[in-house]
Structure 1
């Protein structure tokens, strides 16, 4: 990668939109402000100024020009010959390796330990019908730490999740996402954060009573199997009656996480205000992670496809925009600077994405081309690489 760019330090006053960060920037208390690879916007620069950052490292091309994008660079790619669409991954593998930070390594370490602890907790539930509430609280403590990274944690979840032990990974992910979505909505007090996370990690605990061959069946479920799976929220709610340590808001959140605002969900088809706010948040977190995670019984999709689904379900009245809209907006911003794979096999970097009005999605390739894939009928993002 050294043949393609160098790193230079810029004062905040020298920054301009379109430049690419060459380092992960931390706040004075150690929280991630912006990740390496981020394509700077005016909002990002204002954020760096607010935290009194003196300067940051920026990636520069060998010519000495800061790496960014220029709309004049865009070329039509849809009519190119197939061999022109093949992009070497060597450029990106080196670049992606450069974005790995100590904070990301720390995230993976904590995440892995939490998955192990939750697996142990769920094993006790399965074998002894007992809920280790003390262990659960330690898991919640750890996930509070991970979710402090805010919306940026969503990108790390894509690299941390594994298809094996999907139930445990998914439960941890939904716990983190629920807290992030709840915080972004501004509808929950800080004291409710623990309940959001607890409801997230317990939302699928009822599936421990579902036969494994049904739960992980490849292909469509028959009518009886579907009915069985759809009972898992009610199974969990009944199980929680034995444990006074589980707050009522968590119990209702778990019971109703598959309910929808328009009454089209299950198991009770409750609608609107009858569904607890935690349940509404869990529904969004559950759908997003289920769609974007690796699993043995189905293919993962890109965050782009998941965003489209959640937005469509919000427009149709299934999800509350109060919770979905802030999440969708912030997630779009955090994906800028990430590397993606397109359906033609090429890899590029998302440098600009605007979903309001006429949607624009600019991808930069290693040869310097920047294209708007929204203008290319045959091109779409299928996977988030890094």
Structure 2
């Protein structure tokens, strides 16, 4: 291994040590094979020299040739994750449609299927996952399944005890169960709700809590999440206007997952928003609305491993995320045909769509 000026680094060289940014972040890890893409990025970061190992030119494609498809680009095709997601969705839809207080709720079947889904989470990407098939009338059910997956991850990230993780996932899955008692024409209305309709919608947390209260397999956190997922830490939420000290930790987790998926999933009357735009909205809402420590960790985690993701900017250009700045996690650096766009500086631009 030797220290080589960047101008002398050749395509196919293998990095012998991590390449760091001026602020100490890891730009490329030891063992990375240098292609023209890596050279462009290192030049943009003003890297002057790197430690290189032996060249492996055969592993490199010339600039302009297609690169191997990323894991993220494969996520939309059939996969065990998608299969278990669809089974969970179908089971939840059937359970909700057949719900009757006179008959037992199939909570054990739901939990068993949810466990199978959660086993696939190593391949779940919060920012890029989308259901393989999606009927917009079933939006709130898709929201529930997605919330279960994301809430399970957040519970781990914020270091809730392991015994709580499955219950938090169930809280995410069942948080909107009160909607089965809401008039469907109101629930699916594509135009602005009247004051009376809004009041009806805001009954669903109370209704959900009532529906879950006698299910012994659920702990109090799950039942309170159905009641409290629209409460806000400053007391501005509903239905009870509770402040942070009275909101259960499960409900604080589910609130973040619910807002994220509610804004990024398609509805009958509007297309889902860019996950990066939504993250910025959640970040701003954390000041006085959402649990700020949970929001910070959520944003850090979901933006941490997305180098290589193709995104569309607000000026309609498509580029590849090449670096995520820990200080500005929702505004990464994007490579567009060799030009590096630092979105933390180019504030007039933002990511509107994750292409793959």
What's 1:155 paired with? 127
| Distance (Å, rounded) in 2 between the aligned partners of 1:224 and 1:118 | 29
Aligned to 1:341: 312
Partner of 1:242: 214
- Counterparts of 2:300 and 2:279 in 1: how far apart (Å)? 10
Q: Is residue 45 from structure 1 mapped to residue 61 from structure 2 by the alignment?
A: no
For residues 115 and 302 of structure 1, the distance between their equivalents in structure 2, rounded to whole angstroms, comes to: 23
Residue 258 of structure 2 aligns to a residue in which SS?
helix
- 1:60 corresponds in structure 2 to 35
The two structures have a TM-score, normalised by structure 2, of 0.79
Q: Using the TM superposition, give the Cα deviation of residue 184 of structure 1 relative to its aligned residue in structure 2, in angstroms.
A: 0.5
What CA deviation, in whole Å up to 9, does each residue of 1:269-288 have, x standing for no partner?
Answer: 11111110000111111011
Tell me which of 176, 188, 210 is aligned to 1:204: 176
CA shift, 1:144, in A, is 2.3
Work out the CA distance in 2 between the residues paired with 1:97 and 1:120.
32
Tell me, yes or no, if the aligned pair for 1:353 and 1:360 is still in contact at 8 Å.
yes
Aligned residues: 325
**Alpha-carbon spacing, 1:380–1:252, altered in 2? closer, same or farther (3 Å):** same
Whole-Å Cα distance in 2 between the matches of residues 101 and 217 of structure 1? Answer: 31
Is contact 1:143-1:197 (8 Å) kept?
Answer: no
Quick check: 1:175 aligned with 2:148? yes
Q: Relative contact order (alpha carbons < 8 A, sep ≥ 6): 1 or 2 greater?
A: 1
**Pairs within 5 Å for 1:8-87:** 13=16, 16=19, 42=26, 45=29, 60-61=35-36, 66=38, 69-70=41-42, 72=44
Q: 2:354 matched to 1:384? A: yes
Aligned pairs for 1:1-386 within 5 A? 13=16, 16=19, 42=26, 45=29, 60-61=35-36, 66=38, 69-70=41-42, 72=44, 95=69, 99-100=73-74, 105-125=79-99, 130-149=104-123, 153-158=125-130, 160=132, 162-164=134-136, 165-186=138-159, 188-315=160-287, 317-354=288-325, 356=327, 361-365=332-336, 367-376=337-346, 378-386=348-356
> RMSD between aligned alpha carbons?
3.4
Q: Unpaired segments of 5 or more residues in structure 2? A: 1-10, 47-63
Conserved? CA contact 1:104–1:156, under 8 Å: no
Please say which structure displays the higher CA radius of gyration: 2
Normalising to structure 1: TM-score of the pair? 0.74
Q: State whether residues 322 and 335 of structure 2, in contact with CA within 8 Å, keep that contact through their aligned partners in structure 1.
A: yes
The whole-number CA distance in structure 2 between the counterparts of 1:267 and 1:358 is: 33
Instruction: Give the secondary-structure state (helix, strand or coil) at the position aligned to 2:319.
Output: strand
- Judged with a 3 Å threshold, the aligned counterparts in structure 2 of structure 1 residues 183 and 377 are, in CA distance, closer, same or farther, namely closer
| 8 Å CA contact retained: 1:111, 1:160 | no
Deviation of 1:100 (Å)? 2.2
1:67–1:162 distance in 2 versus 1, CA, 3 Å:
farther
Note the residue ranges of structure 1 that are not aligned, 5 or more in a row.
1-7, 19-40, 47-54, 75-89
Shift of 1:127: 10
The alpha-carbon distance between structure 1 residues 301 and 59, as it changes in their structure 2 partners (threshold 3 A), is: farther
- Bigger helix share: 1
Separation in structure 1 between the aligned mates of residue 119 and residue 108 of structure 2, nearest angstrom: 17
Deviation at 1:177, TM superposition (A): 0.8
1:363: how far off?
1.3
